[in-house]
């Protein structure tokens, strides 16, 4: 099955003047130009940047958010993030699961605790469904040192290192997605097993 949707995760407080915002915009533009739909959390920062990037090349976008009740630090839907389709979930957990479900491949940018939780869930599910998992791309060299520390000090199994790629250049993201597609077509990912998180 060909990759259709690419879900992007990242820092909600990134500003248009920030390198992170520009990178997210340019990555989404490159990905959308190839015909993939960009999925994000419908909020500001990296989320809005990926929508703007996709729309700059005529790409399609989906936002998934919820109305935060009694939450001190959640940005909610950003009215400036003008996605083509907005899906509202009931709460943070269902929103995260929907973001993971809708994406066939994930791109994880720098971010805070929310991004960490999304990255952790994506990684955990990829390991649990290994062989018919959803792969992901970690954008930025800083991920290398983070992953080195995690694998050195925690009980990370070997297959968990096979579900992602670290890239640090905008023009390396689409080739990484294409490589994942090649692996799927060659049978390295088994699509016969039914799962809401499989590709």
Specify if 78 maps to a domain.
yes
Domain that holds residue 90: 5-185
Predicted confidence at residue 128, as pLDDT, reads 93
Specify if 197 maps to a domain.
no
Packing angle, helices 19-33 and 173-185, rounded to 10: 40
Predicted confidence at residue 197, as pLDDT, reads 38
Specify if 29 maps to a domain.
yes
> Rounded to the nearest 5°, which phi and psi values hold at 67?
-90, 110
Instruction: For 93-111, write each residue's pLDDT tens digit.
Output: 999 999 999 999 999 999 9
Predicted confidence at residue 67, as pLDDT, reads 82
Residue 1 has pLDDT above 60, yes or no: no
* Domains of the chain: total: 1
Specify if 198 maps to a domain.
no
Give the HSE-up count for residue 96: Cα atoms under 13 Å, Cβ half-sphere: 15
Specify if 195 maps to a domain.
no
Residue 198 has pLDDT above 90, yes or no: no
Residue 18 has pLDDT above 90, yes or no: yes
DSSP 114-131: HHHHHHHHHHHHHHHTTT
CATH number, domain of 64, equals: 3.40.50.450
Predicted confidence at residue 61, as pLDDT, reads 98
Predicted confidence at residue 188, as pLDDT, reads 54
Specify if 56 maps to a domain.
yes
CB atoms within 10 A of CB 192: 6
Predicted confidence at residue 97, as pLDDT, reads 96
Predicted confidence at residue 196, as pLDDT, reads 38
Instruction: For 125-184, write each residue's pLDDT tens digit.
Output: 999 999 889 999 999 999 999 999 999 999 999 899 999 999 999 999 999 999 998 887
d(CA 86, CA 79) in angstroms, rounded, equals 11
Instruction: For 33-92, write each residue's pLDDT tens digit.
Output: 999 999 999 999 999 999 999 999 999 999 999 887 776 656 767 789 999 999 999 999
Specify if 159 maps to a domain.
yes
């Amino acid at each position: 099955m060909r990759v259709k949707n690419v879900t992007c995760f990242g820092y909600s407080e990134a500003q248009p003047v920030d390198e992170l915002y520009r990178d997210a915009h340019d990555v989404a533009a490159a990905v959308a130009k190839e015909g993939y739909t960009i999925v994000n959390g419908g909020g500001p920062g990296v989320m809005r940047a990926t929508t703007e990037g996709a729309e700059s090349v005529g790409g399609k976008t989906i936002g998934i958010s919820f109305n935060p009740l009694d939450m001190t630090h959640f940005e909610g839907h950003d009215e400036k993030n003008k996605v083509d389709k907005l899906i509202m979930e009931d709460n943070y957990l269902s929103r995260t699961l929907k973001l993971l479900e809708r994406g066939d491949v994930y791109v994880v940018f720098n971010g805070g605790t929310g991004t960490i939780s999304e990255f952790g869930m994506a990684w955990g599910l990829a390991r649990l469904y290994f062989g018919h998992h959803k792969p992901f791309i970690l954008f930025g060299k800083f991920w290398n040192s983070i992953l080195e520390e995690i694998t050195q000090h925690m009980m990370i199994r070997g297959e968990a290192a096979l579900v992602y790629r670290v890239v640090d250049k905008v023009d390396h993201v689409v080739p990484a997605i294409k490589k994942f597609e090649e692996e799927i077509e060659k049978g390295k990912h088994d699509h016969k097993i039914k799962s809401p998180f499989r590709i």
